[in-house]
Amino acid sequence: MPKLRLDRFLSNQTPLSRTEAIREIKRGNVTVDGVIQKQPSFCLETEKQTVMLSGKEITYKEHIYLVMNKPKGVVCAARDKLSKTVLDIIPEKYHRKDLSTVGRLDKDTTGLLILTDDGDFAHKCISPKKMVPKKYIVTLDNSITDDDIAAFSDGITLADGTNCMPATLKRLNDRQAEVTIFEGKYHQIKRMFGVRNLGVNALRRVSIGLLNLPEKLPLGEVIEVNFDELAEKTINFSQN
């Protein structure tokens, strides 16, 4: 049965810092099984006891996993002086210490984004060793040629000399293509097309492994997903 100090439980499961959690406990704003508990060091049985903070129940989850349909104009960062961040637009109930994005999408990129406070999962999901495919729909300022498709498949060398792993490029229509990459270098897709003298007008991520952007998820909204299902579709998914 997992046990945790009450102050640590609150700072893990809510956006409160440890100091703020201690303050809330000492003020009498926290109950355990209906009784006010003023001891920050109180040893809590996380799966058995009910904790309420200012009348709201705090349910225990070791980690949280969210899927967002990222809109344009928000950045993948913990905070930003100029722009809204993806953390600013998720509902308060999902806020947690250490919550961050699994990889990054540019400010003007839309689509599938995973957020979690599980660093181990995030690391596996973005590691090129795991070869988790990330699929994007890209709108270009010109049509792709068979040479572009061959160059992507051979592996593009970026303008600064960085070699990319082979990628899959498919023509969808005159200006749109589907591109699949297995790594996540900085501005990778825009830079790959840049090498081919193609400008990217719009970029949307539609899948990571077998996890598709949920069709009905509106831009800017998130859903909570279950770890086992997420892992099966991403880090445990093998194409072989």
Binding stretches for ligand URA (CB under 6 A): 105-106, 109, 187-190, 203
Instruction: Tell me, rounded to whole angstroms, the distance of Cα 204 from its chain centroid.
Output: 14
Residue 33 tokens read as 């099984």
CB of 134 to ligand URA, least distance (A): 8
The span from the CA of 92 to the CA of 70, in Å, is: 17
Q: Whose Cβ is closer to ligand URA: residue 106's or residue 178's?
A: 106
106 belongs to the catalytic site = yes
Q: Whose Cβ is closer to ligand URA: residue 20's or residue 106's?
A: 106
- Of 33, 88, 106, 146, which is the active-site residue? 106
CB of 84 to ligand URA, least distance (A): 16
Residues forming beta bridges with residue 203, ordered by sequence position = 138
Q: Whose Cβ is closer to ligand URA: residue 18's or residue 72's?
A: 72
CB of 222 to ligand URA, least distance (A): 18
CB of 202 to ligand URA, least distance (A): 11
Q: Whose Cβ is closer to ligand URA: residue 51's or residue 113's?
A: 113
E strand spans, the chain: 3-5, 30-32, 35-36, 43-45, 51-53, 56-58, 65-70, 74-75, 84-85, 100-101, 110-116, 134-140, 168-171, 176-181, 200-208, 211-212, 222-224
Place of tokens 């508990």: 37
The answer to whether the beta carbons of residues 232 and 240 sit under 8 Å apart is: no
Instruction: Classify the C-alpha dihedral 15-19-21-23 as positive or negative.
Output: negative
Point out the residues that are catalytic.
106
